[in-house]
Structure 1
Amino acid sequence: MLQLCKITDSLLISNSRSACDNGLLSGEGVTFCINVSKQQPFPGLRIGTLRVPVFDEPAENLYKYFDRCADAIQDVGTAGGRTLVYCKNGRSRSASICTAYLMKHRHLSLREAFEHVKSARPAVEPNEGFWDQLQRYEGELQSRQMEASPSTNG
């Protein structure tokens, strides 16, 4: 079944088959695609694209793309557009990117962000390596937040 699953008003997730259905993308108003794979195709529409060249392997470094992708999703949404994040099956890589976005820009914990993505697309299941990287990212975001907030002592 071809479908785009809505995570927020400006963020959708799917597998590559759905992502390459131009009618589906047009119907949902998708203006930007993040393709989290080395080999999956981009849709035929003339829209913004970003490739995150990783395989669905626990040893792959997806962490280094979290900030860039989260910021791109945020920027597209702020400009009134909609981002679709996809990988081959729409389960591990794309789910990890969407979870990272919710943690950074919606200030959700890893658990809350993941549950939100899973409620939109029940098939999601980041591999153990990506889950570890998301845990690391959560800690990184927390320490950034602490550095950014002014100290109240003294």
Structure 2
Amino acid sequence: MLQLCKVTNALFISNARSACSDELIQQEAVTLCINVSKQQPFPSTGVTRLQVPVYDDPNEDLHSHFDRCADAIQQEADRGGRSVVYCKNGRSRSASICVAYLMKHRDLSLTAALQKVKTSRHVIDPNPGFMSQLQRYEQDLKKRRGQTES
């Protein structure tokens, strides 16, 4: 079954097959596609594309892409657009990006952000390497917020 799972009003997560369905992209009014993979295609409709070329490997550096992706999703939402984040199976890479977005722009803790993404897409399961990068990101965000509050 093809579907885009709604995380927030402006954010969806899915696998590559669903994300590349032009019909679904149009139906959900998606304007930005974030493809978190090296091999998966983009939908053919005229959407903004952002590629994060990483494999689903615990040793891949996804951390360095968190800010860029989170900010792109937020900018799209601010413009009234909607984003879909996807990887091959919509389980690990795309979930990690969605969690990073929720932590940065919705001020959720890692646990709360994971729960929110899991509620919209039950199969999510970031690999251990990505989980530790998300934990590091949560600490980064706390430090940054601490500096802005003082």
* Same fold at TM > 0.5: yes
> Which secondary structure state, in structure 1, belongs to the residue aligned with residue 18 of structure 2?
helix
TM-superposed deviation, 1:123: 0.3
One-letter code aligned to 1:35? N
CA distance in 1, matches of 2:20, 2:67: 25
Q: Determine the structure 2 residue equivalent to 1:108.
A: 108
What CA deviation, in whole Å up to 9, does each residue of 1:13-58 have, x standing for no partner? 0000001100011000000000000010000001100000000000
Q: Determine the structure 2 residue equivalent to 1:136.
A: 136
Q: Determine the structure 2 residue equivalent to 1:17.
A: 17
What percent identity do the matched residue pairs reach?
60
One-letter code aligned to 2:83? T
One-letter code aligned to 2:89? N
Q: TM-score scaled to structure 1, two decimals? A: 0.97
Where does structure 1 lack aligned partners over 5 or more consecutive residues?
Answer: none
Q: Determine the structure 2 residue equivalent to 1:48.
A: 48
> Which secondary structure state, in structure 1, belongs to the residue aligned with residue 6 of structure 2?
strand
One-letter code aligned to 1:2? L
> Which secondary structure state, in structure 2, belongs to the residue aligned with residue 76 of structure 1?
helix
Q: Determine the structure 1 residue equivalent to 2:66.
A: 66
CA distance in 2, matches of 1:105, 1:31: 19
TM-superposed deviation, 1:70: 0.2
Larger-gyration structure (1/2): 1
TM-superposed deviation, 1:5: 0.1
**Structure 1 residue ranges, 4+ long, deviating more than 4 angstroms after superposition:** none
CA distance in 2, matches of 1:61, 1:71: 18
RMSD value over aligned CA atoms?
A: 0.3
TM-superposed deviation, 1:146: 0.4
TM-superposed deviation, 1:98: 0.1
Where does structure 2 lack aligned partners over 5 or more consecutive residues?
Answer: none
